[in-house]
Amino acid sequence: MPSEFELIRRHFVRPTPQAILGPGDDCALIASSPGMQLAITTDMLIAGTHFLPNTDPHQLGWKTLAVNLSDLAAMGARPRWALLAGSLPAANEPWIAAFADGLFACASHYGVDVIGGDTTRGPLTFCLTAIGEVPVGTALRRDQALLDDDLWVSGQPGLAALGLAHLQGRTELAEVLVKPCLAALQRPLARVELGLELRQRGLAHAAIDVSDGLLADLGHVLERSAVAAELFVAQLPPLPAAADPVLARRCQLAGGDDYELVFSAAPARRAEIAELAVRLALPLWCCGRVIRATPGQLTLVDDDGQAVPIKDKGYDHFG
């Protein structure tokens, strides 16, 4: 069996033009550009908790990086570097090769260098650390939502949770929905271009990515910004007609693993944001507003203008 070092060399050591020193030493060396700050995030993905153990390794490699790039996107940072630590039950080389191909496909798509890592034997687990750059003082933070801001969400949150429900036999999706829902779950896109545009154009005040669920993640913004909000059900993305409407709504509001962006912006910028949506070919939904009420309070308003009680706020690993 090839050694740990040989497996790393074969599958994970590829050119790193953005690094001063890539994999193979005690540390990687990088230099940030003048006037830039570094945005850094780390995420652990565990078989059985974050992905099904039989997940396709190529898709898993993609997703392991993409979910971290989503955090960079939510700060408006440009992805630059990543480090991967992985634990594997056995050195199954075809599996490792497919995982590496998926990881580097994502890295190449977003222009990221994989500069280091660690591998070991143990339960199937990955931990990825991603580093991006953002000009000094311009990062999109969670704590900057302002009174009267619009609340926006990108894309179609809930598809990933529908895909998971389908895979777990909790629903049977119509044929037309299977592919997009599984793609959202297994090969999510990080909204990097959206984050960059929102930051560069000064369009957003606060932003977060939807990893725990729309209500839960919006709740984080409200708490950190010490504001309240209304979310209008009628202005959320229409539910896919072919899905069970109760389940689809639940997935849209409380499903995790979406990696869309939620952001707040001044109402004066609506036309610019609408134009951005067209340019990025990415729907952006103006679905709420920041109001003066108990900080952190989120009110869901249904089609008739009635407040709906909120349960099931999102995904909490220890909740």
Which of 92, 82, 84 is closest to 40 using CA atoms? Answer: 82
Site for a second copy in 23-62 (CB under 8 A): 24-32, 34, 37-44, 46, 48-50
Told to check if 15 binds a second copy by CB under 8 A, we report: no
Q: Is 101 annotated as a binding residue?
A: no
Told to check if 113 binds a second copy by CB under 8 A, we report: no
Which of 211, 222, 258, 72 is closest to 143 using CA atoms? Answer: 222
Told to check if 97 binds a second copy by CB under 8 A, we report: no
| Least distance in angstroms from the C-beta of 128 to a second copy | 9
Told to check if 20 binds a second copy by CB under 8 A, we report: yes
Interface residue with a second copy, options 172, 275, 312, 316 (CB under 8 A) = 316
DSSP 235-299: GSPPPPTTS-HHHHHHHHHH------EEEEE-GGGHHHHHHHHHHHT--EEEEEEEESSSTT-EE
At residue 119, what is the residue type? T
Site for a second copy in 153-212 (CB under 8 A): 207-209
Do 111 and 104 form a contact (C-beta atoms < 8 A)?
Answer: no
Interface residue with a second copy, options 17, 169, 309, 319 (CB under 8 A) = 319
Q: Which is nearer to a second copy, 263 or 285 (CB)?
A: 263
| Least distance in angstroms from the C-beta of 193 to a second copy | 16
Distance CA(212)–CA(67), nearest Å, equals: 12
Q: Is 132 annotated as a binding residue?
A: no
Interface residue with a second copy, options 61, 132, 158, 256 (CB under 8 A) = 132
Distance CA(222)–CA(231), nearest Å, equals: 12
Both tokens of residue 262?
């939620």
User: How many residues touch a second copy (CB under 8 A)?
Assistant: 71
Told to check if 258 binds a second copy by CB under 8 A, we report: no
Both tokens of residue 64?
């392991």
Interface residue with a second copy, options 10, 143, 172, 312 (CB under 8 A) = 143
Q: Which is nearer to a second copy, 117 or 155 (CB)?
A: 117
* Orientation angle between helical segments 245-254 and 159-167, nearest 10 degrees: 120
Query: In this structure, what DSSP letter does residue 234 have?
Result: G
Distance CA(60)–CA(126), nearest Å, equals: 10
| Least distance in angstroms from the C-beta of 102 to a second copy | 19
Interface residue with a second copy, options 16, 59, 64, 119 (CB under 8 A) = 119
Burial class (CB in 10 A: 0-12, 13-18, 19+), 168: exposed
Q: Is 302 annotated as a binding residue?
A: no
Binding residues, by number, are: 26, 41-43, 50, 71, 117-118, 142, 209, 211-212, 257, 315
Binding residues for Mg(2+), by number, are: 26, 41-43, 71, 118, 209, 212
